[in-house]
Copies of this chain bind each other. A is one copy, B any other.
Amino acid sequence: MATERLDRGRVIDAAVALLDAEGLDALSTRRLGAVLQASANAMYWHVGSKDNLVGLAADAVFAELELNTDDNTSWRERLAATARELRTMFTGHSWLTSAFAAYPNTQGPALRRFQNHLLVVCRQAGFEGFDLDWAGATVFSFVIGDAWGQTQSSTPDDSSITTVDLLEQVKPDLADYPLLLERYTALSNADPAVVNNTSFEFGLCTLLDGLQAHLDHQDDKAQPDA
């Protein structure tokens, strides 16, 4: 009950809680002030600006990532685990992709920690030089893109309209695209959660196979007389 003094940590925690609960649009200086039982401007002293606050909130979420530092695990397993961990973080905080898009200046220590981990695992796999960056960026891009798609489709809060009804609604627009209609129909009859997971795992497997192919090709060149 006693309204204690504010500090940077409390402001960030409150912001993350508000973002998780009600999304990016709900985070306003006045709403946040109300949650903290303070004035709307109280946060300015602690975090400088709203842009900065969102960046700090994003980094706070990155800090929760559990990164496997066991070298004995195969690179493929480690990279898969890293990708899954990242994806879980993004889908668990649906405001994150939008936040990054709207407030690009997010380069906190937790993000760097993750970037470093990604590079370390890629190095373990056998990549060197710029290939380290490309391999890491490929995994990161895919996960972001996947999460981006997930958080898009999950917006219809109105559960009264089923996905089947929604399909019926778009049907006339799909007249020119029979294949698209076929796939929409199939997908709308499947469990969205399963669809999302299977889609992600397919992409992840595809990516890892592609990286493996790159490493094999590397070895061919390194040992031409094998």
Interface of A with B (CB < 8 Å)? 24, 97-98, 100-102, 104-105, 107, 109, 112-113, 115-116, 119-120, 123, 129-135, 137-138, 140-146, 148-149, 151-153, 155, 170, 173-174, 176-177, 179-180, 183, 186-187, 190, 195, 198-199, 202-203, 205-214
Contact = CB atoms under 8 A, between A and B. Distances in A.
Contacts of A133: 183, 186-187, 195, 199
A50 to B, nearest CB: 13
A131 B202 CA distance: 8
Contact of A170 (B107, B130, B187): B107
A190 B102 CA distance: 27
A141 B137 contact: no
Contact of A137 (B151, B203, B212): B203
- Top 6 A-B pairs ranked by shortest CB distance? A145-B145, A141-B145, A210-B210, A206-B210, A134-B202, A138-B203
Given A98-B101, A137-B203, A214-B209, A198 B130 contact: yes
A100 to B, nearest CB: 7
Contacts of A199: 133-134, 137-138
23 contacts: A24-B102, A100-B152, A104-B151, A104-B153, A104-B155, A107-B170, A112-B174, A112-B180, A119-B183, A129-B186, A130-B190, A134-B198, A134-B199, A138-B207, A140-B149, A141-B145, A141-B149, A141-B203, A142-B145, A145-B145, A145-B146, A206-B214, A208-B210
A135 B202 contact: yes
Given A143-B145, A144-B145, A152 B198 contact: no
A154 to B, nearest CB: 9
